[in-house]
C-alpha cells in the first residue's frame, strides 16, 4: 500500500526520479500489464484507458523512465493475453448468463461497430478494432462465439497487438522528444497524467448508470408481468 501511495504522489508531483527507482519501476510494469490485460479481455473493464496510457508510456520512454524494448514486450504480452482471454470467454462461456450480462451492459453502438467490422473483415478486424475503445474488447469474444480456428486467431492477435502498442507508444515517444513538449513539459505531463484518471472516473460512472438502468428496467418488467398475471386472474 505504501508503494502505491508513493507512485500516486510521484504522479501528482510529476517526480520522474521516483518513478525511475527500480523498486517502483517493476510495480509500474506489472500495473500496466494488468491494465492492458483487463482492458483487452474483460468486458466490465473495457472502460480502462488503454490508448491514453500507451501514449503516456511513450512519453515516459522519451524521459528514460521505461526501457523501450522491455516495456513494449510487457505491453504486447498484456494486450495479446487479454485478447486471448476474451476469445476464450466467447468460445467457452459465450452462452452463459455472466458473459451475456456483460455484453448487455455495453451501449448498442459498440455492438454494431464490432459486428460490422467482424462480418466484413473477419479476423482482420482485429487490426482495426485495436484502435477503437470497447470494440477491441468485444471483437475477440465475437471471434470465440463464432468458433473460429484458434491458430489463426493467435497469429492475428499477436500481430495486431504488436502494431497497436508500437504505434501508440511510438507516437508518445516522438511527442516526448518534440520541441513543443520540451517547452511546455510540466503542462503537458499534467494533462497526460490526468486524462487516464478522468477516463477511468467517467467509465466507472457510466458503468454504474447502465447497471442502475438495467435494474430499474427489470423491476418495471417484473411489475408489469405481475400486473398482467393478476388481471388475468
Is 45 in contact with 39 (CB distance < 8 Å)?
A: yes
Whole-prediction pTM: 0.80
Using CA atoms in the order 126, 115, 135, 162, what is the torsion angle rounded to 10 degrees?
Answer: 0
Apex 200 CA angle, 113 and 170, nearest 5: 70
- Does residue 128 have a pLDDT over 70? yes
Cα distances (Å, whole numbers) of residue 96 to 5, 89, 101, 102, 163: 38, 9, 8, 10, 32
Which helix (H) or strand (E) covers residue 180, if one does? helix 179-183
Indicate left, alpha or beta for 14 from its phi (over 0: left) and psi (-120 to 50: alpha). left
The tens digit of pLDDT for each residue in 155-213 reads: 888 999 999 999 999 999 999 999 999 999 888 988 888 888 888 888 788 777 776 77
Q: How many whole angstroms separate alpha carbon 220 and alpha carbon 216?
A: 6
The stretch 80-106 carries a mean pLDDT of: 74
The tens digit of pLDDT for each residue in 38-52 reads: 999 887 787 888 899
167: Cβ–Cβ under 8 A, 6 or more apart, which residues? Answer: none
Amino acid at each position: 500500500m505504501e508503494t502505491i501511495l508513493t507512485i500516486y504522489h510521484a504522479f501528482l508531483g510529476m517526480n520522474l526520479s521516483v518513478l525511475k527507482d527500480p523498486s517502483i519501476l517493476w510495480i509500474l510494469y506489472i500495473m500496466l500489464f494488468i491494465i492492458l490485460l483487463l482492458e483487452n479481455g474483460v468486458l466490465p473493464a473495457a472502460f480502462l484507458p488503454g490508448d491514453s496510457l500507451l501514449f503516456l508510456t511513450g512519453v515516459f520512454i522519451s524521459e528514460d523512465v521505461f526501457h523501450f524494448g522491455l516495456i513494449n514486450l510487457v505491453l504486447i504480452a498484456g494486450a495479446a493475453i487479454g485478447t486471448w482471454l476474451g476469445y476464450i470467454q466467447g468460445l467457452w462461456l459465450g452462452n452463459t448468463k455472466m458473459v451475456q450480462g456483460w455484453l448487455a451492459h455495453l451501449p448498442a453502438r459498440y455492438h454494431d461497430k464490432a459486428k460490422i467490422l467482424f462480418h466484413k473483415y473477419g479476423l482482420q478486424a482485429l487490426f482495426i478494432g485495436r484502435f477503437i475503445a470497447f470494440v477491441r474488447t468485444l471483437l475477440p469474444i465475437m471471434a470465440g462465439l463464432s468458433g473460429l480456428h484458434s491458430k489463426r486467431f493467435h497469429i492475428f492477435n499477436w500481430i495486431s497487438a504488436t502494431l497497436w502498442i508500437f504505434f501508440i507508444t511510438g507516437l508518445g515517444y516522438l511527442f516526448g522528444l518534440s520541441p513543443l513538449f520540451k517547452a511546455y513539459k510540466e503542462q503537458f505531463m499534467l494533462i497526460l497524467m490526468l486524462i487516464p484518471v478522468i477516463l477511468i472516473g467517467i467509465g466507472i460512472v457510466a458503468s454504474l448508470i447502465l447497471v442502475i438502468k438495467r435494474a430499474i428496467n427489470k423491476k418495471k418488467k417484473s411489475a408489469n408481468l405481475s400486473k398482467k398475471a393478476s388481471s388475468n386472474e
